[in-house]
DNA sequence: AATTCCAGCAACCGCTCCGAA
DNA sequence: TTTCGGAGCGGTTGCTGGAAT
């Protein structure tokens, strides 16, 4: 059974030969792909258009990055996946030179297992807290003042302790994403428990209370300093000058201006223009960026029509949507 | 050395979305 | 408004090569 598009044609399936690759590359280099369904005929291939498209996108495209994933890329995948779920194409957009197929395979073959080994649910990224696991976790914490998981997905630096952010994931509803106030400084607000707070709120700074931490078993941890916050993109730090430091997680800011595929809805464009005019987006975490290097697919879940970040985390927002 | 097992990866399948007619 | 075809996406399959027995 072939594809719908080629059910009437006699097409070859399975692995591509170097000769076929060569024909496809030559054809696309000279003519572009145009309509994929016509590519095989024009290129002299006994393949269906769909197969040609996949071969080009996943293997033959000249801008593909080869080799294994870096730690930075791995962190990015985990981080974006936590927000977007199995939307591999969207995730791949944060990794220049990587394809959705590549990311998906890497997730299934590597990251998923790593997360499970850390006691994390790869779907929700929350702790798999069976009573036994909770017990083990608490024992580990009590056994060492400096609790640190092996190869944690993220870390959250406190004044003296480092805890896996994933372990704190259940605190999510209590922790807030940073936002920009009228003075162009980042604030984060109290309680995202609900959407009534979701419009243009600029609340007071908060600490993660000792009781919150204790509830998770972090009995020996000091309460998290106000300068440490978790955003929709994971954990980060507000440095002394109130600049957001994503702790190496840079994906929203790495998007290059060459991303000419970005298409904004008129409302989004207006929002971004407003942000630019009011200099809301400036040199955050040492990464200078503007609207053209920002991933709108990613931020639109956190961007209100008013053009102001709200304190609804992206997961909430996605669920809301 | 032969066989089995398994992880990683490339490719396929089937579905949805979107735009044109 | 409906239909149809192309493109894109996520899930799944199956092949391959290396490790284990």
* A246 token code pair: 């994503």
- % of chain A exceeding 70 in pLDDT: 36
Identify which has the larger pLDDT, A77 or A281: A77
Q: How confident is the model at residue A139 (pLDDT cuts 50, 70, 90)?
A: low
Nucleotide B11, nearest residue via CA and C1': A14
Is the pLDDT score of A53 beyond 60?
Answer: yes
Question: How far in angstroms lies nucleotide C14's C1' from the CA of residue A300?
Answer: 39
Contact between residue A168 and residue A156 where contact means Cβ atoms under 8 Å apart: yes
Q: Which residues contact A122 (CB under 8 A, 6 or more apart)?
A: A111, A112, A115, A116
Specify the pLDDT at position A138.
Answer: 52
Contact between residue A153 and residue A166 where contact means Cβ atoms under 8 Å apart: yes
Identify which has the larger pLDDT, A281 or A80: A80
Specify the pLDDT at position A96.
Answer: 85
Closest CA to A309 of A292, A294, A288: A294
Give strand B nucleotides closer than 7 A to any protein Cβ.
Answer: 7-15
Question: How far in angstroms lies nucleotide B5's C1' from the CA of residue A133?
Answer: 31
* A127 token code pair: 């702790």
Coil, strand or helix at A53: helix
Q: How confident is the model at residue A277 (pLDDT cuts 50, 70, 90)?
A: very low
Contact between residue A118 and residue A153 where contact means Cβ atoms under 8 Å apart: yes
Is the pLDDT score of A37 beyond 80?
Answer: yes
Spell out the long-range contacts of A276-282 with Cβ–Cβ below 8 A and sequence spacing 24 or more. Answer: A279/A184, A280/A180, A280/A184, A280/A307, A280/A308, A281/A180, A282/A184
Nucleotide C13, nearest residue via CA and C1': A14
Question: How far in angstroms lies nucleotide C3's C1' from the CA of residue A8?
Answer: 21
Q: How confident is the model at residue A135 (pLDDT cuts 50, 70, 90)?
A: low
State phi, psi for A234 to the nearest 5 degrees: 110, -145
Identify which has the larger pLDDT, A225 or A101: A101
Q: How confident is the model at residue A10 (pLDDT cuts 50, 70, 90)?
A: low
The backbone region for A217, taken as left when phi is positive above 0, alpha when psi lies in -120 to 50, beta otherwise, is left
Question: How far in angstroms lies nucleotide C4's C1' from the CA of residue A53?
Answer: 21
Is the pLDDT score of A72 beyond 50?
Answer: yes
Instruction: Name the DSSP letter for residue A120.
Output: B
Give strand C nucleotides closer than 7 A to any protein Cβ.
Answer: 5-12, 15-16
pLDDT in tens, A288-297: 333 333 343 3
Specify the pLDDT at position A50.
Answer: 84
Which nucleotide shows the minimum CA-to-C1' distance to residue A14?
Answer: B11
Question: How far in angstroms lies nucleotide B17's C1' from the CA of residue A31?
Answer: 27
Question: How far in angstroms lies nucleotide C20's C1' from the CA of residue A122?
Answer: 28
């Amino acid at each position: 059974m072939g594809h719908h598009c080629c059910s009437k044609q006699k097409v070859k399936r399975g692995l591509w030969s170097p000769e076929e690759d060569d024909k496809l590359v030559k054809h696309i280099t000279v003519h572009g792909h145009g309509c994929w369904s016509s590519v095989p005929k024009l290129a002299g291939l006994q393949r269906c258009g769909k197969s040609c498209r996949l071969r080009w996108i996943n293997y033959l495209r000249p801008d593909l990055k080869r080799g294994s994933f870096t730690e930075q890329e791995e962190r990015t995948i985990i981080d974006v996946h936590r927000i977007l779920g199995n939307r591999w194409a969207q995730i791949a957009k944060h990794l220049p030179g990587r394809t959705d197929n590549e990311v998906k395979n890497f997730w299934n073959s590597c990251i998923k297992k790593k997360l499970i080994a850390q006691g994390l649910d790869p779907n929700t990224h929350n702790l798999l807290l069976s009573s036994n696991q909770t017990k083990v976790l608490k024992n580990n914490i009590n056994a060492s003042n400096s609790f640190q998981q092996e190869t944690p997905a993220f870390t959250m630096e406190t004044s003296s302790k480092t805890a896996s952010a994933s372990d704190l994931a259940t605190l999510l509803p209590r922790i807030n994403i940073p936002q920009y106030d009228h003075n162009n400084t980042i604030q984060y607000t109290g309680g995202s428990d609900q959407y009534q707070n979701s419009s243009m709120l600029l609340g007071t700074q908060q600490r993660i209370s000792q009781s919150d931490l204790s509830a998770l078993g972090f009995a020996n941890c000091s309460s998290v300093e106000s300068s440490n916050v978790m955003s929709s993109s994971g954990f980060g730090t507000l440095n002394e000058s109130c600049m957001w430091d994503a702790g190496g997680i840079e994906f929203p800011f790495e998007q290059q201006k060459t991303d000419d595929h970005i298409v904004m809805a008129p409302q989004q464009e207006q929002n971004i223009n407003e942000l630019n005019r009011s200099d809301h987006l400036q040199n955050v975490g040492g990464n200078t960026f503007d609207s053209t290097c920002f991933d709108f697919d990613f931020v639109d879940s956190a961007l209100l029509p008013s053009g102001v970040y709200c304190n609804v985390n992206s997961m909430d927002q996605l669920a809301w949507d």
